[in-house]
Structure 1
Amino acid sequence: MNRLMIFRLSVDLSMTVLMVVAMAYQITGNMIHEVVGISLLGLFILHNFFNRKWYKAIFKGKYNARRILGVAVNFLFLISIAVILISSAPISADVFPFLSSSNDMIWRQIHVLTSYWGFIFMAVHTGLSWAMIINSVSKMTDIKHASRMRTIVLRVLAVVIVIYGVQVSVERDIGEKLTIYNPFGWGYDDSAMRFIIDYLSIMGIYISGTHYAVKFIQKQNKRKLTSSTTSK
């Protein structure tokens, strides 16, 4: 694997980790939260620069269910990141205190709600590219042959992650956090490691769900193509 691809994977992995850290506001404190947010902005710009050809190809070619889903999720993710960044300036207390607004509670509500939606969209976005990520990692680790045992182990691991992710989603009231803003916090006291594991597991729900949904769509498309070819 060439160095550019390794660097791109490193950027994407760093974005994922920093997104989880950014969600841990009550653990990290405000200063680290704002610095992480600025770092995420830089990585997000870099990620879009590497994928600039995707934007040029939007109006080219045919659209199927897989492509429509991809474009919709990518734009929702892009919009959520834009809103997160715009709303972060008026509530900045350490990095850009001179930009603070008197209506900071409204901006804070917008910022928190869109952050959780952005977290979900990022997981779905990752799920859409999961097959490519796995393929790149296989090349990087020089795994050339498929292994039935490895496939079974990875699928069992995915099921465990999803089950645990659903459990902690309920415990952490993720559904409410996507619809309700609580200025007094959510009263969930835990360690940094527990938080990271929980939120990575929540991401695992949407990554796995999206990945297998895409595989199902692709299988359906192949069946339709095969049946149409046979009937001719």
Structure 2
Amino acid sequence: MKRNMLIRLVIDLSMTVLMLVAMAYQITGNTIHEMVGVILLLLFIAHNILNRRWYKTIFKGKHNVRRILSMAVNLLFLISMVVVLISSVPISRDIFAFIPINNDMILLQIHVMTSYWGFIFMAVHIGMSWGTIINAVRNMTGLTSTSRIRTITLRVIAVLIVVYGVQTSFERDMLSRLTIYNPFGWSYDESIMGFLIDNLSVMGIYISGTHYVLSFVRKQDKAMAYKDR
């Protein structure tokens, strides 16, 4: 595997893990939450620097359905993360407490809401690159051969994760968290394992959904290209 690709994977994986840690505010506490936010900011900047060529190609080449969706998701992810990071400064109680800005409940609500949108856009972003991630993992582990049993097993697991993720979305009232209505509905007695399982399953909805939708779109594009010959 190329060194640049390995660095990107490590950064992306670190951002995913830290995003989950940042969302576990009631488990980690405010100080750790803010420290994780600063690290996320640095990794986010590094991620964009490593992928800076993408910005230069936005208006170049052919814009098919997949590329338009990719651009939209990436830009929305970028906007949501920028809003999360900017809104975190005036509501900071530890790291940026020296900044003379009064805490604002509206900013706090915006911070929470956009963090959940960023969480979803991150999952969709991962789903759009899932094929690349799987290929990289295969190269690292040496599992380059295909296996029908392995494929079926992974798909069954994906379905189970999605089903559980949908149930969790309703139980955690994700809609209200995404619409600024009652964004502070946390459970103070939540276990770390329960939090991880629930949030990873929610991520699984968007990762799996995005991956298979794009696979369908890719097949349709190939079919159309074949008919046009």
TM-score of the superposed pair, with normalisation by structure 2: 0.96
CA positional deviation for 1:80? 0.3
Residue matched to 1:99 = 99
Q: Equivalents in 2 of 1:100, 1:189: separation in Å? A: 34
Q: Equivalents in 1 of 2:11, 2:215: separation in Å? A: 25
Residues 1:38 and 2:29 are matched in the alignment: no
Residue matched to 1:121 = 121
CA positional deviation for 1:6? 2.2
Number of aligned residues: 229
Q: Equivalents in 2 of 1:215, 1:188: separation in Å? A: 40
Q: Equivalents in 2 of 1:211, 1:74: separation in Å? A: 15
1:33–1:100: structure 2 CA closer, same or farther, 3 Å change rule? Answer: farther
Residues 1:25 and 2:29 are matched in the alignment: no
Residue matched to 1:193 = 193
CA contact (8 A) 1:123 1:204 kept: yes
* 1:12-67 residue CA offsets vs partner (Å, 9 max, x unmatched): 11111111111111111100100011111111111111111111111110100000
TM-score of the superposed pair, with normalisation by structure 1: 0.95
Unmatched 5+ stretches in structure 2: none
CA positional deviation for 1:182? 2.8
Alignment of 1:24-173 (within 5 A): 24-99=24-99, 101-173=101-173
Q: Equivalents in 2 of 1:106, 1:100: separation in Å? A: 17
Unmatched 5+ stretches in structure 1: none
CA positional deviation for 1:189? 3.1
Partner AA of 1:70 in structure 2: S
CA contact (8 A) 1:15 1:43 kept: yes
CA contact (8 A) 2:176 2:182 kept: no
CA positional deviation for 1:98? 1.7
CA contact (8 A) 1:91 1:100 kept: no
* 1:190-224 residue CA offsets vs partner (Å, 9 max, x unmatched): 10111011101100000000001100110110110
Q: Equivalents in 1 of 2:195, 2:176: separation in Å? A: 18
1:177–1:197: structure 2 CA closer, same or farther, 3 Å change rule? Answer: same
Residues 1:177 and 2:181 are matched in the alignment: no
